[in-house]
Structure 1
């Protein structure tokens, strides 16, 4: 009986990293100097930005929002695009969402950078 319980604990423990890896949740902080009206996240190899994940909400400069989503793609590298309140687009490419829990977007001098933690 003890060996069955240990086997179940080991099996459940080994599944947890796989479940965690499929979730790509992160906190997004806006340090761009603009109000973010739309956010798009897509696998790095995709040509389609798909849907705005902000919906009707906006993200003022200096604020943060929790981004929650799970995807079936087996990639860690994702691209992120924002559209600001003046309909200007800014893109960040190859963000590693498998290891990121907090992403701070910056945009200074027409250069887009991201601090990933």
Structure 2
């Protein structure tokens, strides 16, 4: 019985490791954006760092309310370092967070002080 338990435990560990490897590879640059700006976000753009080509809005029709999170799929692992621009719903102002390595970061919590115009972000 002990050897059966050890075999099952070993199989479970091997399966978990294989699953983690596949998951890490499949979504290596996906990230969650946790809005801690104090404002609802209506648009999100991602651009290779130091390029001014924002492309399409990644939010679609929805908004990301303060305190809420959204998973963004990002597949350009060849260009890991990206800038993220958001547009706020209430006044259409824009803020940019620069040089975020999306291949290393899986969670971004942007913060913004509108009075001082200070932007910061915690990353995990």
Secondary structure at the counterpart of residue 52 of structure 1: coil
2:116 is equivalent to residue 116 of structure 1: no
Task: Please show how residues 1-117 of structure 1 align to structure 2 within 5 Å.
Answer: 20=25, 23-71=28-76, 74-85=78-89, 86-108=91-113, 109-117=116-124
Contact 1:32 1:61 in 2 (8 A): yes
RMSD: 1.9
Alignment: residue pair count = 101
Contact 1:29 1:102 in 2 (8 A): yes
5+ long unaligned stretches in structure 2: 1-17
Deviating above 4 A after TM superposition, structure 1's stretches of 4 or more consecutive aligned residues are none
Q: Which has the larger radius of gyration?
A: 2
5+ long unaligned stretches in structure 1: 1-12
- In structure 1, C-alpha distance between the alignment counterparts of 2:95 and 2:52, rounded to whole Å: 16
TM-score norm. by structure 1 comes to 0.78
TM-score norm. by structure 2 comes to 0.74
- In structure 1, C-alpha distance between the alignment counterparts of 2:100 and 2:26, rounded to whole Å: 15
